[in-house]
Structure 1
Amino acid sequence: MNRRFAAFAALAIPLLLSACASVGGPTVKIDVDPGADFSRVRTYSWVARPDGGTPLMQQRIVDGIDARLQAKGWRLAPNGDIHVSAHVSSTEKESQSAYYSRVGYLGWGGFGPPAPNTAAPTDTYEIGTLVVDMVNAQSKRSAWRGTASGTLHDDPAQMNALLQSALDKMFAGFPPGSK
């Protein structure tokens, strides 16, 4: 019995922890122009740096994107093959946790009017979105777009971890067609 439980726990606990780690993580979406040829791209330039968030977060975004592009062999140049822009926005959302103070019906042996509901508490939170666009400098056609969104935190360390996770997901298969 104890061996079965130990084997179950050895399998279930890492699975549970990985599921918990993914909850609240950034949602990343990528859109690519199927006609874009990234095999010839060697340089990039910034045309619009992030304009939302704090100056430190803006710099972290630029540094994070630079690091990932340069890891792919691209280099920053004044008139690059690809023009990069990044935009940041945030939206306040509300969630309600419904609960009931009474169950069933009032009076007459359960055949009376329904029990009144208690007002649901409302929690507000902020969703941040990062959009990274890449445009071919010669054709002026959009080549690639990555978006990442997630729940923002007050703690700078948590925000940096969220950003790094989003950028890792965003640039995981970059450039398109690479192995």
Structure 2
Amino acid sequence: MQRPMLVLPLCLGLCACQSENPYRAESVPLPPAPAQADHTLDLSAYPPAPLDFARYRTWSWLAPPTGTGELSAEQVLQILGSGLEQRGLRQARPGQAADLQARAELRVEQRLYQSYDDYGGWYGYGHHHWHDHYGLYGQVPVVRTYRRPVLVLRLDLIDAGSGQQVWSGVGEAGGYADRSTEALRQATRNALERFPPN
């Protein structure tokens, strides 16, 4: 008897809630397309064609790099030029237009390195046949922090015709304080490792 009495108010409440929705779905129509839309190709809608790096044969300096620390400007120019030549790029002759312009930045950074060693010792008595080992074992971690100079080279190649940067590479080499020319050769090899890109 109680259930029908509960159901009746619920049904009346639901009937009272049914009313017309005050919100209407309306939209403004899209404006018509321009008249030239069907005749024009929108190149921004497509990814750019991959660059053909085989067409780049010669290069020249956009701004010649300067020496740094132990390295003179002549050493820097010679080593970087040799690295580019090993990648198939020839330096343009004076007065000749180059396909690429090169820009290089050299800097020496101080890096912190850490080495971690565990030193331990054992003191006590042990019997091999009975495996009775009594003693004390201790281990002490030793962390050493040291600073090393690292040569960092950033090399940018710019299309001489369009003025757009087409490639960039960064290379690092340690041991700059002891063998600066070898460090620059290593940094150049590391920077040009992925040139030309596949």
Same fold (TM over 0.5): yes
Q: How far did 1:85 drift?
A: 0.6
Identity %: 22
**Mapped partners of 1:52, 1:74: distance in 2:** 19
SS at match of 2:98: coil
Structure 1 segments unaligned to the other structure (5+ residues): 1-32
Where 2:71 maps in the other structure, the secondary structure is: helix
Q: How does 1:1-179 map to 2 (within 5 A)?
A: 35-51=50-66, 53-54=68-69, 56-70=71-85, 72=88, 73-77=90-94, 79-99=97-117, 120-155=143-178, 158-168=179-189, 170-171=191-192, 174-176=195-197
Larger radius of gyration: 2
Q: Distance in 2 between matches of 1:41 and 1:47?
A: 16
Which amino acid counterpart does residue 63 of structure 2 have in structure 1? A
Alignment coverage as a number of residue pairs: 137
Aligned residues: CA RMSD? 3.6
Instruction: Give the letter for the 1:135 counterpart.
Output: I
Kept in 1: contact 2:150–2:175 (CA 8 A): yes
Structure number with the higher strand fraction is 2
- 1:6 maps to none
1:129-151 residue CA offsets vs partner (Å, 9 max, x unmatched): 11111011221211111211021
1:102-137 CA-to-partner distances (Å, cap 9, x unmatched) read 679xxxx99xxxx89676332111222111110112
Q: Which amino acid aligns with 2:54?
A: S
The structure whose residues are more often helix, as a share, is: 1
More contact order relative to length (CA 8 Å, sep ≥ 6):
1
Gaps of 5+ in 2: 1-47, 123-133
